[in-house]
Amino acid sequence: MNVVELSGGVGGARLARGLAGIPGVNLTAIVNVGDDSVTQGLHISPDLDTVIYTLAGEEGPHGWGRAGDTFRTNDELARFGIDNRFKLGDLDLALKVFRTAELAAGTTLSEITLTVAKSFGLHAVVLPATDDELRTFVRLEDGWVSFKEYFVERGHRDDVKEIRFEGSADAEPAPGVIQSIEESDLVVIGPSNPPLSIWPILAVPSIREAIAHHPRVAAVSPLIGGATIKGPADRVLRSLGLGSGTNSVANSYGRLIDCLYVDESDVIDLPDVNVIGTDTMIQTRESAIRLAQELIAK
């Protein structure tokens, strides 16, 4: 069975681990690159790395970086007066250095990502939504800022009034993205932040179109009891005027989805979407596999 997941970071990565853990499922994860940045001169793809590290069972304890990492280089950067709050672990840094050097040599982000996934022994295919530069900007009370400034530097405390995805109109999907959607039996939108992590994927016109034409698209809500466990999804949905709770998640995807998996406490009736209550807490691999099995069984 061919399954495509659209994924942001932590939540989407955990569901990917569940889907990849089911024998007979061929998973392609199509991952948000709107949060990519150049930090300390290194090309950072936070969501791609979180998906790969999580699939490999090597993810860090806080939703970024690698398990058991150390911060020798990152700590030393302070000597040169560098803002090193964006913590780059020593093991993690190897991937960043490799990717930056390969990009400089003309290799595409999707080619690099396939190499990295293979080097971690993954069977799942992991693809950036696009090899083109597509960057998320958010409008706060005091104007437009980059995703990184909003999320890392300001700690996602501000209200997000508006979002735009620079470069999206002309962005081509990475090689393999459209084919994987067309050949999939099921498209899952992972429990990531809908506006900040999934919209930038859907902002690539031909990806949105392929998803819109797909007969079976299921989304998993990132909300539990109307709120997020971590991250600002609930507040972002509200401040963008999409409402609250299950309604806001459904609104964020409109007619693209056929059904929406939510926590038992978040079940409501909606006219156009089949809302299904289940256990959407997927911190462990086992719970993620359980949810994934439910998704593919329907």
Q: Which of 27, 95, 138, 211 binds its own copies (CB under 8 A)?
A: 95
State which residue, 74 or 184, has the beta carbon closest to its own copies.
74
Among 86-94, 178-186, 201-209, 284-292, the segment contacting its own copies (CB under 8 A): 86-94
Q: How far is the CB of 171 from its own copies (least distance, A)?
A: 24
Question: Is the CB of residue 170 less than 8 Å from the CB of residue 259?
Answer: no
| Nearest to its own copies of 12, 89 (CB atom) | 89
What is d(CA 226, CA 4) in angstroms, rounded to the nearest whole number? 26
Residues whose CB is less than 8 angstroms from the CB of residue 268 and which lie 6 or more positions away in sequence, other chains included: 245, 246, 247, 275
Kindly state whether residue 80 participates in binding its own copies, applying the rule CB under 8 A: yes
Which stretches of 23-89 are DSSP H helices?
Answer: 46-55, 72-77
Least distance from its own copies to the Cβ atom of residue 13, Å = 19
Token look-up 């090597």 returns: 58
> Which range touches its own copies (CB under 8 A), out of 29-37, 114-122, 234-242, 270-278?
114-122
Is residue 265 close enough to count as binding its own copies by CB under 8 A?
Answer: no
Strand ranges in 142-293 using DSSP code E only, listed in sequence order? 143-146, 162-166, 186-189, 217-220, 259-263, 274-278
List b or e across 80-93, with b for residues whose CB sees 16 or more CB atoms inside 10 angstroms. eeeebebbbbebbb
Place of tokens 């409008």: 139
Residue in 4, 51, 116, 204 binding its own copies, rule: CB under 8 A: 116
Tell the smallest beta-carbon distance from residue 144 to its own copies (Å). 22
Could you give the CA distance from residue 19 to residue 218 in angstroms, rounded to a whole number? 13
Among 29, 42, 152, 220, binds its own copies (CB under 8 A): 42
Of 87-95, 151-159, 239-247, 283-291, the window that binds its own copies (rule: CB under 8 A) is 87-95
CB of 288 to its own copies, least distance (A): 25
Examine residue 166 and tell whether it contacts its own copies (CB under 8 A): no
State which of residues 115, 179, 283, 284 lies at the interface with its own copies (CB under 8 A): 115
Least distance from its own copies to the Cβ atom of residue 126, Å: 15
β-bridge pairing 162-166 and 135-140: antiparallel
Regarding 85 and contact with its own copies (CB under 8 A), the answer is: no
The answer to whether residue 93 forms part of the interface with its own copies (CB under 8 A) is: yes
- 162-166, strands of its sheet edge to edge: 143-146, 135-140, 162-166
Inter-residue contact 233 to 160 (CB < 8 Å): no
Where do contacts with its own copies occur on this chain (CB under 8 A)?
Answer: 40-42, 70, 72-74, 76-77, 79-82, 90-91, 93-95, 97-98, 100-102, 104-105, 115-116, 119-120
